[in-house]
């Protein structure tokens, strides 16, 4: 009984310690300059897509071709 209790406490302690682990190495740091440039480039991309296609532009349908059967 004492052995099962010890194993159970060890498992609980191991699970508790594993929740403190981080997914990235400690050398990786957030850069505010990089984040600002990234947001700027994303906003420029999203703005350019909306500006290239007018809302009332006709949409070309894809051409349908007959299926080729092997002889």
H or E element at residue 18: helix 2-18
pTM here is 0.28
The size of the chain, in residues, is 71
The residues, any chain, with a CB within 8 Å of residue 68's CB and separated by 6 or more, are none
Tell me the pLDDT band of 54, cut-offs 50, 70 and 90.
low
Which one is predicted more confidently, 16 or 43?
Answer: 43
User: Assign residue 60 a region: left if phi > 0, alpha if psi is -120 to 50, beta otherwise?
Assistant: beta
The residue to which tokens 């990089």 are assigned: 34
């Amino acid at each position: 009984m004492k052995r099962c209790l010890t194993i159970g406490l060890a498992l609980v302690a191991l699970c508790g310690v594993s929740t403190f682990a981080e997914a990235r190495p400690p050398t990786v740091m957030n850069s505010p300059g990089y984040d600002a440039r990234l947001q700027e480039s994303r906003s420029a991309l999203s703005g350019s897509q909306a500006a290239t296609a007018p809302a009332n532009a006709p949409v070309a349908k894809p051409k349908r071709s007959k299926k080729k059967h092997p002889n």
